């Protein structure tokens, strides 16, 4: 037994549920080689401070938007007219000014914050590619490398998803001035992927592709991009924004006579490689077909609430065996447990019921949600991060059993539930491991203070440069 790669948990949440006296061992690559419940050991090993949870994958992130969070919470001209679309115009102004150094500093602070909040992996949906005037950098990987460096320095696991973006609306409408930093032709995107693949592999990261949305990627470009990606890596993840807003559904119907998810299922090889981000507005047929495809529904509850998107029909999705995970998207909130709570509460408000996301097999809402979100998020990442089981990465979170809200509770289920529904959610996290490396100790990442200072400086400069 290698004590440096061993951990003992009095209670641990495994894919099969809560177990007692769990011994975990992992190899030099950070992969679990032993997960043994009811273990007895006479050798000294590190012991958890409280219940052990699987690390949560964050399946949807726009890192630069963390510096923009909270800056649009005021009413614009025309009462009642604020929407996703008015928010988007303000976001474009912000995206148009960010520098490589600022992106790196913002992402570094964000990823450290994610780790402290229970996320151990991130799918970075990365669409700011070029210089402020829209021209490519001399090194086309410049901004992608900023994100790779941020993930590497903090230790969070990464799936990098460069975004293909070509048009401003259905029917290949020309991009707007605010989208100039996003636009790439398909061949150019495939060349970027070829350059990024060895860079990601050298850091133990995964590379995929994100066709931004059906409105931003014309059909021929979507076909060519998926074909090229599959040639490069047949199992690479594919993420796409879809059916987030009712206006998008209406525009897709006007363009094609089909709803967005309907069109995608009819024209693209949607399978378990795919993550349908948001998928808020599906009808019954779309829900059945999409769930049956094996694709993941990427739910971003706090962002969807912040933008007024609507409520995802989780009951119908899960009834058809649909798999899902969570993301923090625009980062108005960076907290894995908060996203779970918001998802459950949205269902309660929509259905006027309680404990909606529990199941017959798992009556504890917090436990059921965590198990499903970790499994679905792991699939969306395209990495072995689907929970505490042999062959998966040793990505784990320990709760503090002595936290005031958790103390004296008699079972791990109740402590976990208190963490999600009754604590400050992040405050009960004690330790976080990624690939067997301890990245958060006593609730704090080593880079917290330095990264937060750099973040504040970057945001100050961006605000001072605003028109």
Q: How far apart are CA 111 and CA 122, in angstroms?
A: 8
Which residue in this structure is represented by tokens 């989780």?
314
The token pair that represents 115 in the structure block: 């780790």
CB atoms within 10 A of CB 156: 29
Distance CA 181, CA 367 (A): 41
**203 phi and psi angles, rounded to 5 deg:** -100, 5
Q: Which of 309, 329, 395, 400 is catalytic?
A: 329
Alpha carbons 106 and 431: distance in angstroms, whole number: 23
Residues in the chain: 467
Is 190 in contact with 154 (CB distance < 8 Å)?
Answer: no
CB-side exposure of 285: number of CA atoms within 13 Å? Answer: 8
Candidates 104, 1, 215; CA nearest to 458 is 104
272-275 contact pairs (CB < 8 A, 24+): 272/296, 272/379, 273/235, 273/236, 273/237, 273/238, 273/382, 274/237, 274/238, 274/239, 274/240, 275/59, 275/60, 275/123, 275/237, 275/238, 275/239, 275/240, 275/325, 275/380
- 3-state class (DSSP) for residue 125: strand
Contact criterion met (CB below 8 Å) for 394 and 24: yes
Tokens 């809200």 belong to: 405
Helical pair 412-421 and 365-381, crossing angle rounded to 10 deg: 70
Name the helix (H) or strand (E) containing 224: helix 219-232
Which residue matches tokens 């409280």?
50
Active-site option among 278, 331, 416, 430: 278
Based on the residue annotation, tell me whether 400 is a catalytic residue of this protein.
no
Quote the CA–CA distance of 308 and 379 in Å, as a whole number. 27
Contact 165, 179 (CB under 8 A): yes
List Cα–Cα distances, 175 to 33, 65, 182, 215, 422, in angstroms: 50, 21, 9, 11, 45
The verdict on whether 38 is a catalytic residue reads no
Look up residue 94 and give its two tokens.
């912000």
Give the whole-angstrom CA distance, residue 258 versus residue 64.
33
Environment class of residue 139 by beta-carbon count within 10 Å: exposed (0-12), middle (13-18) or buried (19+)?
Answer: exposed
Give catalytic residue positions.
278, 329
């Amino acid at each position: 037994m290698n004590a440096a790669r061993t951990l003992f948990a009095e209670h641990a949440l495994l894919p099969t549920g809560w177990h007692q006296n769990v011994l975990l061992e992992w190899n030099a690559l950070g992969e679990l080689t032993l997960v043994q419940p009811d273990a007895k050991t006479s050798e000294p090993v590190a012991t958890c401070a409280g219940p052990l949870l699987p690390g949560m994958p964050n399946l949807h992130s726009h890192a630069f938007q963390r510096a923009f969070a909270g800056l649009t919470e005021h009413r614009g001209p025309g009462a009642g007219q604020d929407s996703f679309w008015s928010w988007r115009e303000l976001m474009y102004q912000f995206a148009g000014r960010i520098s490589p150094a600022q992106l790196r500093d913002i992402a570094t602070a964000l990823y450290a914050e994610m780790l402290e909040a229970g996320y151990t992996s991130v799918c970075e949906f990365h669409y700011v590619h070029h210089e402020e005037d829209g021209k490519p950098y001399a090194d086309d990987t410049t901004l992608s490398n900023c994100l790779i460096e941020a993930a590497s320095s903090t230790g969070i696991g990464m799936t990098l998803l460069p975004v293909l973006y070509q048009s401003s609306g259905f029917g290949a409408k020309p991009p707007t001035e605010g989208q100039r930093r996003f636009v790439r032709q398909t061949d150019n995107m495939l060349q970027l992927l070829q350059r990024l693949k060895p860079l990601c592999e050298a850091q133990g990261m995964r590379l995929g592709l994100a066709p931004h949305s059906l409105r931003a990627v014309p059909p021929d470009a979507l076909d060519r991009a998926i074909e090229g990606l599959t040639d490069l890596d047949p199992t690479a993840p594919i993420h796409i924004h879809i059916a987030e807003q009712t206006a998008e559904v209406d525009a897709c119907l006007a363009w094609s006579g089909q709803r967005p998810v309907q069109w995608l299922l009819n024209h693209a090889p949607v399978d378990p490689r795919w993550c349908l981000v948001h998928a808020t507005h599906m009808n019954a047929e779309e829900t059945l077909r999409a769930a049956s495809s094996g694709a993941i529904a990427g739910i971003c509850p706090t962002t969807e609430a912040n933008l007024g998107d609507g409520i995802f029909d989780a009951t119908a999705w899960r009834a058809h065996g649909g798999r899902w995970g969570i993301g923090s998207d625009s980062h108005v909130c960076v907290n894995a447990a908060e996203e779970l709570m918001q998802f459950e509460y949205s269902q309660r408000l929509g259905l006027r019921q309680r404990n909606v996301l529990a199941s017959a097999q798992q009556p504890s809402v917090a436990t059921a949600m965590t198990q499903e979100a970790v499994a679905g998020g792991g699939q969306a990442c395209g990495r072995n991060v689907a929970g505490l089981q042999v062959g998966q990465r040793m990505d784990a979170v320990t709760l503090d059993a002595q936290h005031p809200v958790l103390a004296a509770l008699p079972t791990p289920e109740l402590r976990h539930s208190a963490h999600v529904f009754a604590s400050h959610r992040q405050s009960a996290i004690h330790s976080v491991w990624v690939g067997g490396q301890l990245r958060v100790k006593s609730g704090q990442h080593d880079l917290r203070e330095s990264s937060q200072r750099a973040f504040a400086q970057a945001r100050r400069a961006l605000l001072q440069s605003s028109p």
